[in-house]
Structures are given as structure tokens and as C-alpha cells.
Amino acid sequence: MFNPMWLFYILVFPGALFCFVAGTLLNGLDRKVYAKMQQRIGPPILQPFYDFMKLMGKETIIPYEANKTVFLGAPVVGFVALVTIMLLLPQFGFTAFGELNADMIVIIYLLTIPAASIIIGGAASGSPYAGVGISREMVSVISFELPLVMVLLAIGKKAGGDGVTFSMKAIADYQAANGAMICQWSMIPAALAMLLVVPCEVGCHPFDVAEAETEICEGPLVEYSGAPLGVFKLNYYVKQLVVSALFAALFLGGKGTGIVAADAAIFYGECLLVTFFSMTLIRATCARLKVEQVFKFYWTVVAGLALVSLVLAWFGL
Amino acid sequence: MMNYVEHFPALATMVLFLGAFLVTIFGGKNKTLRIFLAMAAATASFVMVLCVAKYVIIDGNIITYWLGNWTPVKDYAIGIGLEVDSLNAFFALLVTLTTYLSGWYSIKYMSRDEGGDYYYTLYLMLSGSVLGLVLTGDIFNMFVMIEIMTFACVALTAFRNWSKGALEAGFKYLVIGSLGSTCTLTGIALLYAQCHTLNMAQLSAMIAKVGITGNSTMILAFALLITGFGIKSYAVPFHFVAADAYMAAPASVSMLFSGMVNKAGVYGLIRVCYIILQTMGLGKVQTLLVAVGTVSMFVGVTMALNQHDFKRLLAFHSISQIGYVLTAIGLGTALGVAGGLYHAMNHTLFKGLLFLCAGAVYYATGRTNLNNMGGLAKKMPQTCIIFLIAAFSISGLPPFNGFVSKWMIYQAIYAKSAQSFGYLFVTVVALITSTLTLASFIKVTQSAFFGQSRPEFDDVKEVPGSMLLPMWVMAILCVFTGVAPKFVTEKLITPAVNAVMSVNKYIDTMMGAGYTEKITGSAATEISAEQITIGNWTPVMWLVLFGIVLVAFTVVAVFGKSSRGYTNNSKEQPDNKHATFFGGEMATRSTVVGSDLFWGFRHNFKGYFEKLEGIHSGVVNDYAVWAIGALAVFVMYLNAVL
């Protein structure tokens, strides 16, 4: 029943350690490229790692108003959920827990948990800034949820052939047989929609209404310090990795090379590409939206794109 | 030789009614005696139903029990028969569990109210009637139980008649509830006129013989029964009274309403659609139920987002969750029924728990308005943790139970969407509803338990242990049914689904082997539901990971530097670094209250919300018009398509 490889999967690759290293690196590269686009030198690539280590050594101040258990527990729950998603995503032929045949519903709900953990943690801190922040975070979750669901259903219909499927494995198999999903012309609107869902899911500029440093002082994180803040920052890096990986698994799959290490390298390269196009590029060129604009944008433009693919997929195109 | 367990269905119902009468006679003066009598009745009934559940669900028997030993004569059922298959036993389990836990909770919770003997009498009458409803095999007996149930509900809704709106809510419930009973009675009368029998098994065989398609009397009866049970399950557009009733009733009664009264409606719909009239094979009937369910889901949750009363908000969530159940049951597939039943069970657990939390907050602070609360998490830490478990369960976050059942429901709906684009739309609505549910519970969490604490709550204390105990039991059940979905499905859900799917077995057990063949000309076939796959979510793996990370984090938290500032008892001045600042001055209160959250969402849906609020006018005449209008639409639709 118990397989010793599981521990390796959970702790090392593609679990906790890989998420930590790859996530901080991804964020470092993202910041470097972002700086170059603004003609700055930018921080060293290892800067997120230094930030994290520094925060772990700092004093943790728990505000008087806060509920201690929830305040400290929230970031950990978010991290665990993110790592779990990574374990369930197929990387070409390889999935850590492939025999579990995880499906998209699990992924959708697990993706809600990091957002919920920020919200609950922020709420537990008792600050009014956090109160404003969590309401905005929740609205942005509602915003991207509709297009995300529609994109996933479109892919499920496409990969399911005559029927429909929720299974990530079926989607990976379909791409191994028929080439990457993004090469199907009917799925291109869905891919565009998903590219726009990614930054909102991660919560990076211009969709960072919840954290908006210049308005509400990082919203839910305003009272956090020390190790819990460090874990929340880490969650942000890992979220960048995991959401890009979700895009890669859904749209950029394929046969792969058959060698796990090579596949993983290619997969990570794809994640970098997705990060560049969906986060760095948009971040460097757009100004922050207001919360009601975010909502409107996602439920009209992005959901519209996803709907096009959904209808096309339903007609078998 | 009859197994002694076979007497238990009848006895379990009777003991509750007996308890009600004893409380009236002896419990008027002595408080301890009446609590003892009520709890003895509830416990006895719970234990008996447990035995029945083991005998029926685990061992696979079906109990048939003719009251007064009036067995069928010449294949005609003349007496009242109880038939308990896995479906009945499943619902009976939910009913008695709710009754039992609510009884424990009531002891302290109702101790401040006058008229405890009336309360316990009505409480036992309500429980007995719902239990009788789900155990009976006779459709007129079912109606009698519905009547008792409705009037117990009305009286309990208006129980705190000194509070604002209680009498009004009771009156509304009376009007709409009677309308529902009338519909059910008329439907039963039409069936009786056609088939000359009231036994459900016999009715089912006879209706299968003549068929319902094209028979407009049958269709009218069917529409009336759907409306009648729809009113009892508070589906949209019959939901208006639910919000008022849940809000006005004491929390222990609101828990009964959402835990078993609306489950009785769901049970009735399953019985009518799957067994008695056997209409679920027809695509048009599926469309009707799924449409009602989908509208209930969305309207319920969006109305909930607009509420600022704790219990009223929960009431609208009940409507929304029942929408999930109806949608799942309306699909007509084994997976759909399994998801629906699983969700019905989960709804009993988490919604009951949420009402108990609302009751605990009311008991401690005397308030239910979310705009006047805040910071209770520090005063009531256990209630807060329990509330979070329940809120995550209803929002369907893994690894809690709501996730498992919603997952099954999504799979069932999505599988159907291969046939029709409409089901794709339903899938999207179901998923979005789940997110909106999370949003509205975030609002409750923020405005009641977290956020800035209020000076007037300084003396608030955690509720007593006898209230916390049932809450913890339900919280643990919420986690258990979420972590061990395979176990629950195998032991509890699959037998019930099999019972729903094998009509002919139901008929033959009641009326004697070979009866179906004699009446309908087709032999009874044992249909076993296809293997219900619930996906392969293994929360255990998640918990392992969680454990490892938690240990690592604890190490950092313990050995790292951490400071908490002063505690509640200390008189020292707090260090400023532990204070929450807002606008320069320490301890300035923010004016952000519960209703201000999600402005970004509401702003974009202004028109929709205005319209929706206009419909919920609060005038009972309008509500009756909606109910009758819906009946008319059902009749016309079913006549047109069948």
C-alpha cells in the first residue's frame, strides 16, 4: 500500500523542495526580466531566496487583535495546497501521483485554498486594511473563477472526444496523441483566456487589487511579519510556478522525451515562458485596475474568450 | 419468525410521539423531568434507527411491516404498511441524528426561554412526524405526517413570539405550508381515484401498467406532488418563507428545519419521481428538476451575499444547497443520485453545524446582525474553529465533506453535458455557486469572528460544554465524511442508490414476490447501480504532507523569535508594536462592516440585485402567487411534453 517513492515525491521532486527552489528561481528571473524591460539593473536572481531567508530569521509579531492559531496556521495551509497541486499535475508522461488520476475539480478547489488562506489569515489579523484587502481578494477569486472553469470545461470536452472528461491524465494522453492543445485552433481563445487568468490567480500587477501596496499597504498581509510573512512570500513565488505549470500541463503537453529529467527540464522551460508572457510582460506594461474593473474585465472579455472555445469544442471543432 | 429489529421502524416513530405526550402531561412544572423525557425519547429513537440502519443498509434486508398485521388481501393493500429499504433507512438516520444532537444543544440553549414544555412537545412532534414520513410505505400516511410536520413547524417558527418578525414568519409559513399540503393531498386523491390504493408499492406497479405519458390525470397528480414536496424542500420559487422561518426560529429548531424538514421534501421528491411514478427515465422530467435546482442554487447564493443577518444568510444558503441536491437527483443517473444523497447528508451536517454556531453567537452576545459584531474569535475560540470547519465544508474546500459530494455532482452533471449544451451551463453555474458560497462565508467570518473586536463584547464568554459537544460531534463528522469518502460511499450511499434504482424490487418485497410480473407483465429484475466512481481523491496524502510541513513550521515558530504582547488578563499597557493601526491613531475603529464587503461584485450586478430584492417583497400574497404560478407552469409544461 505505502510506496517509499511517495515520500520522495512529496518532499523532494516535484514536491516541497522542488517547489521552493524552482519557485524562488522563477520569481528571481521574473524580476530580472521585468527590471530589464524598465531599463533597470534589477535585483540578483537569488534575491527572493535571500528575502525568504531573512524573513525566517526575523521576529514574528502577533498583533493583540489577532487570533493566534489561525494567524500562524493560514500561510502553512496555503503552501501545502500549492505543493499538492504540483504533485497532481502531469508533466508530459510523468505525474508524481499519476495512479490517482487527479482531475480538474480537485485542481480548481486546491487553487482556491491559497487564496482562502490569505483571506482567513488577513481576517484573523484584525486590521481594517486587511478587511478591505480580503474583500478585494475574494472578488478577484470570483472574477477569475468563471473563465477558469469555462476553459477547463472546454479542454475537458475537447480531450474527451465523444464524451467529456475531468481527468488530467486523459488530457495529457490526448496531447501525447494529438500534439499540444494550443495547436488546436479552436482552443486558441481558451489559451488566451487562460493566459489572462494566470496573473489574476497569482495576484500580480495589474490585477493585484487585493495587495495594492500603494493604497492599502499589502491588504491582508499588513500585520504579518517574520516567518509567517516569509511563508506567504514563498506562497507567492510557488503560486507563480504552479499556475504557470497548470497552463503548461493544459496547453503545452505532448509526447515528451520519455526521460523524466529531460521532461522536467522542458516543462520548467515552458513554465518560464508562460510566466514571461502572462505575468512579466503584462506587469511591465499595464497600470493597476480598480476592483470592479477587474471583475467586469474577467466576466466579459476573458469569459467571452473562454466561451468561444467552449462552444467550438461542443460542436466538435 | 420475525427479527425483533423489524418492529423498530414503527417503535422509533411511536416513541417520539409518546415522548411528546408525556412531556405535555408530566413536564409542565419540572424542568429536569421534561428534559429527561425528551432526551430519553430522542435517544431511544436514535438507537433503534441505528439498529434498523445496520439491519437494512449493512446486512441488505428490506423491512416490511404491516401495522395491526393488516396484510394485503387478494393482492390489495388495505392496511398501513411500513417499508424500510436503504433509502428510507438513510434518511431516517439523518432525521434521528439531527433530532438527537439538537436535543443536546437545546438543554442549555433553550434554558432562558419560557414555555419549555411546549418547546419539547413540539420538538418531539416535529421529529416524530418527519421520521414517520421517511419510514412509511403508505402515501396517505405520508400526508398525515406532512400535516403534523407543517403545524409543528409553524408553532416552532413563532416560538419566540416576543421577538420581532416571529409571528409574521409563522403566519407566512402557515399559508405557504398549507398550500403545499393541499397540493400533496390533491395529488394523492387523484392517484387514489385512478388506482384505488394508497400503498406506494402497489401504486407504483399500477401506474407502471397504465403509464403516465399522455394520461393527463396522472400528469396533473404528478405536477401537484412535485409542487407539494417542492414547497417542503424550499426550492425556488417556493423558498420565500424559508428565510423568515429559519431566522425567527430558535437556532436548535433552524437546525431541525435545514437538517430534516427540507430533507423530508427531498425524500418525497425522490420517492415520487423514482419509485411511485417512475418518471425519471423521461428526459423532460429531468430537465424540469435540473432547471428548478439550478435556479435554486444561483438565486439562493446571490440572495445570501446580500444578507446581513447571520441566520437569514444561512437560510438562503440552505436553499442554494438544496438546489445542488435537486439538480443531482434530477439527472436520473446513478452517479447523480449518489452525489445528491451524499450532499443531502453533508448538508444536514454542515448546515446544522452552522445554525448551531449562529445559535452559540446569539447565546453569547444576544445578536444575529453581522454588522454589529466583530472580534469574537478571541472570546469564543472553539466556536470559531468549529465555524471555520463548517464554512469550509459548505464551500467545498478539500479535505472537508462538501468537496466530495460537490465533486460527485459536478462529475454527474458534466457527464450529462455530452448530450446537451444546457448541462454544460449547469456545470458552470454549479462551480460558480460554490465560489460565491465561499465568498459569503468569508463575509460572516470577517464580520462576526475576526475583524476589530467591539468594546461591548468584553464580557462575552465561550458557550457551555453541553452546547459545544454536539457541535464538535458534527464537526468531526464533517471531517470524517470528507476524509473517508470511499468508506461512506460503500457503506451508506451505494445501498441507498441501489434502492432508488430498483423499483421492482421495492414493489415485490412489499406486495409479495411475483406481484410486479402479475400487474405489469415484466419480471422484477435486480438492478444494481453501476460502480460509482468518486474520482480518486485521497485526502490522506494531503494530510501526510500537511503534517510534515506543520512540524517544520512549528519548529521555526517555536525556536524562532515570536512575541505576542500582553494577554487579556494583564493590566499592563500593550506595546505599541502589537497594536493594529488604522489611520494614525491606535484603536481607531474602522467603519468597514459586513455589508460593505464585496462591493466590487455587487456594483456590477446592481440591476440583478435590485430585481431580486423586489421579488422578495415580504408580502405573503406574492409568495402564494409564486407558488401557484409555479404549479401552473409545471402542469402546463408536463402536459405539453409528456
ipTM: 0.85
Q: Do A227 and B415 touch (CB under 8 A)?
A: no
> What pLDDT is recorded for position B563?
55
Q: Do B545 and A108 touch (CB under 8 A)?
A: no
Would you give the end-to-end CA distance of chain A in angstroms? 42
DSSP helix/strand/coil, B65:
strand
Rounded Cα gap, residues B642 and B639, in angstroms: 6
**How many domains does one find in chain A?**
1
Q: Is A83 on the interface with B (CB under 8 A)?
A: yes
B50 HSE (CA, 13 A, CB side): 9
Rounded Cα gap, residues B326 and B320, in angstroms: 10
Give the pLDDT band (50/70/90) at residue B189: very high
Query: pLDDT at residue B415 above 50?
Result: yes
Q: Do A76 and B553 touch (CB under 8 A)?
A: yes
Residues of chain B neighbouring A16 (CB-CB closer than 8 A):
545, 548-549
Rounded Cα gap, residues B156 and B118, in angstroms: 9
**Which range is least confidently modeled, A197-211, B144-158, B425-439, B584-598?**
B584-598
**Which range is least confidently modeled, B188-202, B266-280, B600-614?**
B600-614
Percent of chain B with pLDDT over 90: 9
Radius of gyration of chain B (CA): 25
**Model pLDDT for residues A129-156, shown as the tens digit of each residue:** 777 788 888 888 888 888 988 888 888 8
> What pLDDT is recorded for position B571?
46
Rounded Cα gap, residues B148 and B135, in angstroms: 15
Give the pLDDT band (50/70/90) at residue B566: very low
**Model pLDDT for residues B17-43, shown as the tens digit of each residue:** 998 898 888 877 788 888 888 889 999
Residues of chain A neighbouring B384 (CB-CB closer than 8 A):
67, 70
Q: Is B595 on the interface with A (CB under 8 A)?
A: no
> What pLDDT is recorded for position B580?
65
Segment A108-125 shows an average pLDDT of 83
Report helix, strand and coil shares of chain B as percent, to nearest 5.
75, 5, 25
**Model pLDDT for residues B324-342, shown as the tens digit of each residue:** 999 998 888 888 888 899 8
Mean pLDDT of chain B: 81
Q: Which B residues, 383 through 412, put their C-beta within 8 Å of a C-beta on chain A?
A: 384-385, 388, 392, 395-398, 403, 406-407, 410-411
**Which range is least confidently modeled, A100-104, A189-193, B368-372?**
A100-104
Cβ pair B437, B395 in contact under 8 A: yes
Please give the angle made by the CA atoms of A245, A250 and A254, to the nearest 5 degrees.
95
Please tell me which of the candidates A6, A56, A109 has its beta carbon nearest to residue B560.
Answer: A56
- A300: closest CA of chain B, how far (Å): 11
Query: pLDDT at residue B526 above 70?
Result: no
DSSP B58: I
> What pLDDT is recorded for position B25?
86
Give the pLDDT band (50/70/90) at residue B128: very high
More confident residue, B534 or B5: B5
> What pLDDT is recorded for position A166?
77
Give the pLDDT band (50/70/90) at residue B545: low
Rounded Cα gap, residues B616 and B240, in angstroms: 7
Q: Tell me, what amino acid is at A73?
A: G
Give the pLDDT band (50/70/90) at residue B486: confident
Residues of chain A neighbouring B415 (CB-CB closer than 8 A):
163-164
**Model pLDDT for residues B33-73, shown as the tens digit of each residue:** 888 888 899 999 999 998 888 888 888 888 888 887 777 77
More confident residue, B507 or B150: B150
* Interface-testing mutation among B379, B432, B450, with chain A (most A C-beta atoms within 10 A): B450
Q: Do A123 and B450 touch (CB under 8 A)?
A: yes
Which residues, in sequence order, are CB contacts of A61 under 8 Å at separation 6+? A223, A225, A226, B562, B563, B565, B577, B578
CB crowding A160-189: b at 16 or more within 10 Å, else e: beeebbbbbbbbbbbbbeeebbbebebbbb
DSSP helix/strand/coil, B63:
strand
**Model pLDDT for residues B296-317, shown as the tens digit of each residue:** 999 888 888 888 888 888 889 9
> What pLDDT is recorded for position B569?
43
> What pLDDT is recorded for position B129?
92
**Model pLDDT for residues A73-88, shown as the tens digit of each residue:** 788 888 888 888 887 7
> What pLDDT is recorded for position B583?
62
Query: pLDDT at residue B186 above 90?
Result: yes
Residue A152 sits in which domain range?
4-314
**Model pLDDT for residues B207-258, shown as the tens digit of each residue:** 887 777 778 888 888 889 989 998 888 888 888 888 888 888 888 888 888 8
Select, from the ranges A209-213, B239-243, B278-282, the one with the highest average predicted confidence (pLDDT): B239-243
Q: Tell me, what amino acid is at B243?
A: A
Segment B83-105 shows an average pLDDT of 89
Query: pLDDT at residue B638 above 90?
Result: no
DSSP B193-218: HHHS--BHHHHHHHHHHH-STT-HHH
Q: Is A315 on the interface with B (CB under 8 A)?
A: no
* Interface-testing mutation among A61, A109, A113, A151, with chain B (most B C-beta atoms within 10 A): A109
How do A60-61 and B81-84 pair as beta strands?
unpaired
By C-alpha distance, which of B603, B499, B440 is closest to B83? B499
Largest CA distance in chain A: 59
Number of H helices, E strands in chain B: 27, 3
How many other C-beta atoms can be found within 10 angstroms of the C-beta atom of residue A304?
14
Give the pLDDT band (50/70/90) at residue B552: low
By C-alpha distance, which of B386, B152, B574 is closest to A64? B574
Give the pLDDT band (50/70/90) at residue B591: low
More confident residue, A11 or A233: A233
Rounded Cα gap, residues B90 and B279, in angstroms: 22
From the number of C-beta atoms within 10 Å of its C-beta (0-12, 13-18, 19+), residue B461 rates as exposed
> What pLDDT is recorded for position B555?
64
DSSP B66-129: EGGG---BTTB--S-EEEE-HHHHHHHHHHHHHHHHHHHHHHHHGGGSS-HHHHHHHHHHHHHH
Q: Do A131 and B392 touch (CB under 8 A)?
A: no
**Model pLDDT for residues B341-390, shown as the tens digit of each residue:** 989 999 999 998 999 988 888 888 888 787 777 778 777 888 888 888 89
